[in-house]
Structure 1
Amino acid sequence: MSLKYQVVPVTSFLQNCSIVWCDETMEGVVVDPGGDEKHLATIINELGVKVVNLVLTHGHLDHVGGTEPLARLLGNTPIVGPNKEDNFWLQGLEGQSQMFGFPLTEAFEPDQWLNDGDQIKFGHQVLDVIHTPGHTPGHVVLFSEEAKLAFVGDVLFNGAIGRTDFPKGDFNTLITSIKTKLWPLGNEVRFIPGHGPESTFGHERASNPFVADEMPLY
């Protein structure tokens, strides 16, 4: 048994939505359904995945815009995450829609907020929840210890880091989250960011100008 995933870029902004599942039971979750919910529902159906949760890493519109419509399409699938510190973003979704020229997305609350140390389980797979503030105060990262794979939202990118100029963003907090919460997971860990291509923590430690360090060679 193993963890499988398919990254689906959604909307004209091409933000990454991830369909993640257990290949033995075909239970799974959808991480950051930012839009194009009918397209996502079609792919989920073609893959044969039984989605048990929609999981949000943070409250920005481009990552949550398709959440409630997709939940309805899949039969009222529960919505979990992010951390409650991002509630102000979810309550401001109508304003975000106007600001960014997105279709109107109404405010909502998830069925469950996520805290550091929580676990999301589907089939025989587990994603550990890691609270990683900085880009937003309630941002969370989802980590599979077994697969050495992390879904990091907008905390870290291939060659860059998340913006910190939004309300309640903080550069130093973000750097601390990356270096103290992500790097200890291991250099070999692959990650799927909210935008752009995958990378590994080791590659970013060696080459990312924002967070590179004196990485030990081993």
Structure 2
Amino acid sequence: MRRLRPGELDADQRALYEEIVSGPRGTGPRLFALTDDAGGLEGPFNAMLLRPALGHALQALGAAIRYRGALPDRCREIAILVVAAVWDSAFERHAHEAVGRAAGLADEELRALRAGDHAALAGERERLVADTARALADRGDLTGEEYARARDALGEDGVFELTTLVGYYATLALQLRVFRVAAPGEDGPAREDGPARGGGPA
């Protein structure tokens, strides 16, 4: 997808653009770039401009997950990076490894999350969050035993938050894949000839 520039946006697109760059993502610590040098939105945000009514709702959900959720910062970033690993989403990995470092994740923990090795995480609760997020991203469900463990550790409200988080970041990973959005400095994934591959996460 072509990067949309601020000067070519219509009124609805411009309102969404301002909401993104002036909201908590833009006014808090800048751990990854929201815009390129010409002001175009990075990552999944550029595609949100295609349908501003949906883009407003989608970016607001993401802001609620990141800034108004109850999961500890490390747990939240662990879960996001698990989704990035399942979907092999380079932009999500790039952005949220930076956020994860700021939340206290060590480089060895980030490498382990890339490889799907949750045993390297420091705490039992964090390992449970990673395992639960992996089950949700891989299978779209939890067994009775997995649900009970997650409920006992996080509460039912925590399970709701975690399922919302996984669903949101899986949606972004899907859009990043379809629109071939790369991490800064990388090429996007190639589009294969012939029928699309079945299934979701790689």
- Structure-2-length-normalised TM-score: 0.33
- Structure-1-length-normalised TM-score: 0.31
> Which of the pair is proportionally richer in strand?
1
